[in-house]
Structure 1
Amino acid sequence: MAVQLVNPLPSIHPVLDPLIVSLADPSEPASGREGQSQCEVQIEVEDSLDSGTWRLIGEILNPYDYTTDTAKAVLHKTLQGALSYFLPNLTVSGSQAMPGPVKRYRLKARDVVDGIPEGSLVATDPGRAWLAGQSYTAQGTDLTSGKAYLFLTTRSLTRRLHPSEKIHLQVLQLATGTPTVRIKALFTDGTDQTDTVGLSAGTAYIPFAVNITLPTYTKTAHTIEIDLTGLSGTAEKLTYQLISRPAPYFRQLFYANSLGGLDHLALTGKCEEITTPSGEIFEAQEYPHAPPSGGAGGGGNSRAFNQRSTDSLILRTGYMSEAEKRSLRDLTLRNEAWILDGLAFRKIILSNTQWTVKADDQYLHALELTARYAWDEIAYSR
């Protein structure tokens, strides 16, 4: 008996969207057997690319449908747990490998009849799982065909840029080759300047990250355009519109998005820091009052314990375009976010509260969010 996929695994699949495969045993259809036929499926991932070392992450035992002689296996939930977002090193120049958002996986399957396994597990050809997904009505849309690369961002491709903001790009390369970053500055006097940064050779379906350091310009730039060259296929372009008169308030937020990458956002509104202490009170035996310098009752009969403090933030984005604000639905959906503290990422958890995406007759767009750090404090440093 040799169980096999009805259709091959997709070359790459966004696993935030459903992934359901069908398996069959063409040599001995389930409907022709005596006894109850089931299909045992094991799901394995390769944590190190092309290593040939596979790790078991899930097992499924599903019955056959006797009208079609196939068994179904739902894969996407299991694969989601094997993938992860990539936090970069912001001091590194050049390409950084991103091992977490895309991994190869395969299935191993065999028949089980009346609870008894039949034969050995047979491995399928591998596919790639991608920590990505699309809106409900867009599921099934091909995100990769004919493209040279895909910026792993769900923000508007035209966006604000604060002068102090660090530019970090995460890219899914879709054509094998050696990409080059092209940075084009448009100046207020109508001229422009193009600079390039060479990157390491890459392979299709393998993501990478890169920090962008803008050149020192002798003129005043109002727009920065960034794209990649050197790969076969259609290309995307990011357009950064510089904030010409930024307010003195600035923080930078990084957050995971629905394409498996990290986006970053300049917070240019007035943010607030809040601390909330908590604890419990223990009441001991009462003693007559005595001066604090002596006697058992000098300190009262109640004690505080389990004291800790939660530090939280009110984050205000400042004004932005409607498209930029709309794209921030992904920030609150994924709820994987970090405040940049120097070069360190400080994890925060956003409050799950309703916010207005758009209101008719509203022309100024901004967002206020409440968040807390992902830890409690039991002591403070100087």
Structure 2
Amino acid sequence: MEMKKQGVCAAQGFVANGLHCGIRPNQTKNDLAIVYSKVPASAAAIYTTNAVKGAPIYVTKEHIADGKAQAILVNSGNANTCNADGIEVAEKMSAAVAKELGLQPADIMIASTGVIGQPMPLDNILEAMPALCSDLSDEKENEAAKAILTTDTITKEYATTFEIDGVTCTLGGMAKGSGMIAPNMATMLSFVTSDVAISSECLQSALKEVADDTYNMISIDGDTSTNDTFGILCNGLAGNVEITQKDKNYETFKAALYTVCEHISKMLAKDGEGASKLLTAKVSHAQTKKDAKIVAKSIVESTLLKCAMFGNDANWGRILCAIGYADANYDIHKVEVDLASKAGSIKVCVDGHGIAFDEDKALQILKEDEIEILVNLHDGDYEATAWGCDMTYEYVKINGEYRS
């Protein structure tokens, strides 16, 4: 089914907006976004594992402790992290949104992304709040998606439909993330909305389960951010019987959420800072799911392999090296590796040893912008996928000049 909307306004009852309020010096870039549900919604979120957390995370945790929210406010350009008045600023931002929309501050989820340790220009944000909230529309979802970007080069949006007991439901999301993306949902913000009726308890569970297999399987550069938030609002306007237990309807909802998050995960990995290629590591026939995930993540996290992929070098030894230091169960003497892209596929390793292969064919395969690293452990029935990107000269340039 073709979706008229591709992001956070795809589902019934959601509107959004984004604009430039003056946090970022470039006046052509949006830096303040809002997503609003016309009715109260079940809410859930998961956050960064970094011990240093942005003030908005503490505020959002408190606001959605009751499992309910109605709006999400996000800014880019300033992380509101390591600021003495960070909590106060986040609360004032929430209160300003609540006043404009006739809500309570506790109805607001809030998130920030950008430079750490810089004072937040609160006056600019408060002055922009009337304009932000008075021009809400389901046509403005892309303006909101643009407003949460930092070093990203593209917006990340995706939506899908699914059926619960014959009722059509919709789920859509947006995300940002280009650098500081590492294990356990590091540097990213993602917000998903749906018109499905589901309890906040089931929502929290589905969110964690899906994130573990999607957002938590991305690595750009090994750095874990301070502000990562994955939040979701479900307002029930589709009219299905509320999902309150882990039954077949729960699994249907979770599958839709996985579809959206998997698509966005690939967008995040491919748009890594300075990246020129999306790397997908698919590990099959592992002893356990955990083993498969650990090995897949180890491969996409390898700096040496990322450099080799940038150089179109079929250096399979770096893949074996990354598997070798992965804290997982496997027999390295059973490992088989293929490299693949739309240009074809080629086997480069069997039984943990190199084999003769056509270097010219391998070069053509690796020149594509989406590369698959296929690893068969020949040791069980479990599989996992991780996503990453190559490492380029541009990555150093971007991060060497981040504050400027």
TM-score, structure 1 as length reference: 0.24
Structure with more relative contact order (C-alpha pairs < 8 Å, separation 6 or more): 2
TM-score, structure 2 as length reference: 0.23
In terms of fraction of residues, the more helix-rich structure is 2
Instruction: Say which one has the larger Rg.
Output: 1
